[in-house]
Amino acid sequence: MAKLRGTLGGMAMLLASAGVAVAAQPRAPDNLLPGTAGPQPAPSPRATPRPAPAPAIASQPVVQPLPGEAGAQPATVQPLGPQPAPMPVMTWDLADAQALLAFIESAVEAEGLTPADYQPDALRAAIAAGPGAALDLQASRSFDWLVEDLRDGRTPLNARVQWFAVDTDVDATPTASVLAKALASHDIAGTLLALDPDNGEFAALKAALAALPAEVPPVPKGITPLPGTLTPATLKRQREALRVNIERWRWLPRDLGVIYLIANVPEFQVRLVSNHAIIRTYRTVVGKPGRTATPQLAERVQAVVFNPTWTVPQSIVQGEGLGAKLLANPDKGYKVTTSADGTVNVVQLPGPKNSLGMMKIDMPNPHAIYLHDTPSRGLFNAKVRAFSHGCIRTEKAVELGMIMAMLGAGLTPQEAEAKTLAKKYARVTMTKTFPVYITYFTYGRDTSGQLTAFGDIYGRDKPVVTSLNAPRELHTTARVGEQEVIVADDPL
């Protein structure tokens, strides 16, 4: 614990150098959520990051469905379920339309997208025909589709396997506002590029994609290329890997927040980030492939629990006979009760053998997923660490929990230490919550800052590659796909 005390003291100085104040005495911490500034009231329990206010629209665009497109309905019909995203249409001059065409032809591929998706031939023909309704409709259509894909991602929601992180950028920067801003400023390219995710990880992937050659000569028959040689096949795989992961960053909010936790499942790492700087990294154990795979979420840390209890799920109490065993041979590490209907309930009490270890980060969500400590710390030495039932076991979790309590509840290092040493259940509610993102990136910068590939442990890249190579689908008003929410019955 003396070592931990020194670490916390060092962390206080490190956080201060990163622009985060840690109180010597308890106080309400600075707000930590994306898109907000100054003191804020405690948020609601919903786990979606708050959007920033939408910019004002200079002139009100007309919003209309595209002629002949699926989903267009008479004004009197109120269809059920998600609908095609509304398409704003505004007046375009030739110079702005030509700038949009130039962006599609010269910049779209650098964004990991396909120029043909944005109908450059139809836009070129409309420009040639001159100003008028046809140009307004086609230029608005091409621009609006670009906004949707750059801001929200191109991949249809149901191809984002078990991705439940809700992206609020459509609220912060509605398409109509972006279109109005572009036409008012006459900066078509700059307005579109401003939609890119605001973090160094995305920038590194985009730079790597730009550095790839357009093509390489084929390998002559009978010749085995040297290791590391770029061949047409390896070039294709590298380009796909970069495009897939550039795409995934667009599924998250552009502004991730002042301070946040971000876990990358295939990397088996979680990072604590402050003001775009990585403050701390921790190895993790994640869910086994299959129904216990860890889903992708964007939640809010509501509390840190020191010395947690664990309510044992009935799949273990009844299914594995633990309840009957404890009734016959009581164990002081467990509290066993029997309800009126005869159901045996088992709670594992705080202690070094508790299955949740000595710390749990409470981030309520329908999947019952959270970050926690573990008494089985030897698993952190494995190279591939997919052993859990969905939750994320975190190395040095007590240290992380103390830092969270200092940042989110204004505890001093001494108070955070005391919560752990007490060896009693203690739930520290966050005065200001902050985001935690559980992501799935198979290519990106590792903890040393080097771009590297991570194993696609759940096989989730292929549906994204398939969708990127298929014709573009129209966006809808839906926020998440229609996928099964798998509750972690045994959250370990």
Query: What CATH number is attached to the domain comprising 406?
Result: 2.40.440.10
Percent of the chain whose pLDDT exceeds 70: 84
What is the enclosing helix (H) or strand (E) of 108? none
pLDDT average, residue stretch 98-118: 98
Same domain, 173 and 235: yes
pLDDT at 227 over 90: no
Structure token pair of residue 110:
């650098």
Q: Which residue has the higher pLDDT, 417 or 15?
A: 417
Report the distance separating Cα 386 and Cα 370, nearest Å.
15
% pLDDT > 90, the chain:
72
Residue 73 has a pLDDT of 45
- pLDDT score for 124: 98
CB-based contact 356:310 (threshold 8 Å): yes
DSSP three-state, residue 187: coil
In a domain, 401, yes or no: yes
Q: What's the domain count of the chain?
A: 2
Please report whether residue 318 resides in a domain: no
Q: Is residue 218 part of a domain?
A: yes
Q: In the numeric block, which tokens belong to residue 229?
A: 């040689």
Residue 125, SS3 per DSSP? helix
Q: What pLDDT does 223 receive?
A: 82
Among 205-214, 220-229, 262-271, 473-482, whose mean pLDDT is lowest? Answer: 220-229
Unique residue bearing structure tokens 């150098």: 17
What's the whole-number mean pLDDT along residues 260-272?
Answer: 98
Residue 134 in domain: yes
Dihedral, CA of residue 234, residue 240, residue 242 and residue 246, to nearest 10: 180
Q: Is residue 266 located within the same domain as residue 384?
A: yes
Q: What is the 3-state secondary structure (H, E, C) of 63-77?
A: EECCCCCCCCCCCCC
Q: Same structural domain for residues 220 and 155? A: yes
159 shares a domain with 34: no
Q: Are residues 268 and 166 in the same domain?
A: no
pLDDT at 226 over 90: no
Amino acid at 116: A
pLDDT digits (tens, 9 = 90+) for 121-160: 999 999 999 999 999 999 999 999 999 999 999 999 999 9
C-alpha dihedral, 275 to 278 to 284 to 290, nearest 10°:
60
Confidence of residue 13 (pLDDT cuts 50, 70, 90): low
Residues 160 and 259 in one domain: no
374-422 pLDDT, tens digit each: 998 999 999 999 999 999 999 999 999 999 999 999 999 999 999 999 9
Instruction: Give the pLDDT band (50/70/90) at residue 485.
Output: very high
Q: Is residue 33 part of a domain?
A: yes
Could you give the 3-state DSSP secondary structure of residue 484?
Answer: coil
Model confidence at 77, in pLDDT bands (50, 70, 90)?
very low
In the chain the first and final C-alpha atoms are separated, in Å, by 26
Instruction: Give the model's pLDDT for residue 352.
Output: 86
364 and 414 fall within a common domain: yes
Q: Which helix (H) or strand (E) holds 89?
A: strand 87-89
In this structure, are 369 and 417 located in the same domain? yes
Domain interval for residue 181: 62-72+79-249+460-469
Residue 283 has pLDDT above 80, yes or no: yes
> Got the DSSP string for 169-208?
HHHHS-HHHHHHHHHHHT-HHHHHHTTS-SSHHHHHHHHH
Q: Are residues 243 and 277 in the same domain?
A: no
Calculate the average pLDDT of the chain. 87
Q: How confident is the model at residue 471 (pLDDT cuts 50, 70, 90)?
A: very high
Statement: residue 74 has pLDDT above 50? no
Judgement on whether residues 175 and 222 belong to the same structural domain of the protein? yes
- 228 and 182, same domain (yes or no): yes
The dihedral region occupied by 66, where left means phi > 0, alpha psi between -120 and 50, and beta the remainder, is beta
* Domain-embedded: residue 333: no
What pLDDT is recorded for position 28?
42
pLDDT digits (tens, 9 = 90+) for 39-58: 333 333 333 333 333 333 33
Nearest to 147 by CA among 185, 95, 105, 103: 103
Tell me, yes or no, whether 243 and 386 share the same domain.
no
